[in-house]
Structure 1
Amino acid sequence: MDARTRNNVVVTGNDDGPVVMLAHGFGCDQNLWRLVVPALAEKCRVVLFDHVGAGRSDLSAWDAGPYSTLDAYASDVLDICRELDVRDVVFVGHSVSAMIGVLAVAAEPARFGKLVLLTPSPRYIDDGDYRGGFSAADIEELLDSLESNYLGWSATMAPVIMGTPDRPELGAELTNSFCRTDPEVARVFARTTFLSDNRADLARVTVPTLVVECAQDVIAPRAVGAFVHAQIPGSTLVTLDATGHCPQLSAPEATADAILRFVTSPR
């Protein structure tokens, strides 16, 4: 199966512009980028796709074995780049896809020009002096709740993750996105996401990197953004005046502007 079909690849925008590849996070699909795509598409060739198991990807390609690690998702990213025959790619990874991007860039740095990490977290669980925002017990409770009642978990957690109680329609959209995900896929991807530890991989990034955090984010607090910034040599840290974990929905103009400024800046 070719990667374009497997990952429901969509290419849009300015064919003469730099290639910007947008990768969605847990429980989402490429639709969550729709509010930033128009601004990016004016100057960039935008590549959208769904991770296997999400959106309109080929669900028959999903297998719990290989997709229990982020390396399988990073391998898919590289397959897409090869099939499209693109280089100097600016990879934009949201949430867990930030670390997928880190792994892809580390594996094949010549393929990428720049890296944008949107609300990233290399490890969600606190560890010694490192503060990921959650204790091990917190994460186990979260995963147990997800596995016992995925739809109920989605309805409870999505608004918390979105972090915009004054705009309940955004929380509802994320809830609906979670609920469209197959519960078995969600169970495996959640464990892969929330139990991951990619702190050591950050130093392997050798391309210019932008770290984008939100002023308030319960999933990836600012201490995490500072850590990621400190671990990637020469990276730039931008704090958006936004709340929640999904600024591409809650603050799309600021998110698109931060990405565009970085994409068009000299190296």
Structure 2
Amino acid sequence: MIPATFDYVRPATIDEAVAALADAGEDAGQDVKAIAGGQSLMPLLRLRLAYPEVLVDLDRIEALREIRDDGDAIVIGATATHHQVLHDPLVGEHLPLIARATATVADPAVRHRGTFGGSLAHADPAGDLPAVALALDAVLHVRSARGEREIPAAEFFVDWMTSALEPDELLVAVRVPKLAGPGWGVHYEKFHRTAQAWAVVGVACAVRRVNGAVEDARVALTNMGPAPVRASAVERFAEGRTISRDAFRAAGEHAAAGTDPPADLHGSSQYRAHLAKVLTARALTAAAGG
């Protein structure tokens, strides 16, 4: 299909982009969207599931691509591509869970165009990176003509394809705390029916091992509700346990607690709940080396 007619703006700076969002939304009352790699938005435009009147292209804004060390965290620019994130040495050293999950996103062609911030702002519960951001307690930095604000990942994902971003706000960067201290292991376990497909269920997991036991566990689930889900019951059960496959299988039994898995052509709610338990046990085992 062909997208509906829209006006096109291509700013060169963050300030120009923010001004364009404000001008279209507040002054003209138009529906406006920002586009970076376009790997999520373009299919919606073509299917006319999204039909903004103004499209603000962020591709020229170099400042949005920066990845930098910020002391106890790594700051990833919103339009850094998946390929850039996957091969960045800072991400590889301090945020290996992001690198692991990014490697599973679609295919190389999509990873060369799709962006880290775009995946988060799109807020698809079947996307891989929202659950990772949730597990790592990421903070999303947004800007508008009204000022700047920081939104914790736990508050950013509101509902299916809905984030806490206001129409005139632009996601500019994501600050992700480093996994501090020795003993951390990470894993992203994903089940999908075909190569490059969305996850039927995914599990983002980070485990800190101390003296053969789990000192800290971070677990978040992909596609187990209208937004990514922090598996708090799994974390509570796993922490303090001696590392073993049996312990992680028992922890995995809590994975579906508090979730609302969808039912679709790829599986029923009950099937997803079962998958979440199995995949969580696998992810914990792989992350902890148990």
| Fold-level similarity (TM above 0.5) | no
TM-score of the aligned structures, taking structure 2 as reference length = 0.27
Q: Which has the higher helix share?
A: 1
Work out which structure has the larger RCO, using CA pairs closer than 8 Å and 6 or more positions apart in sequence. Answer: 1
Structure (1 or 2) with the greater strand fraction: 2
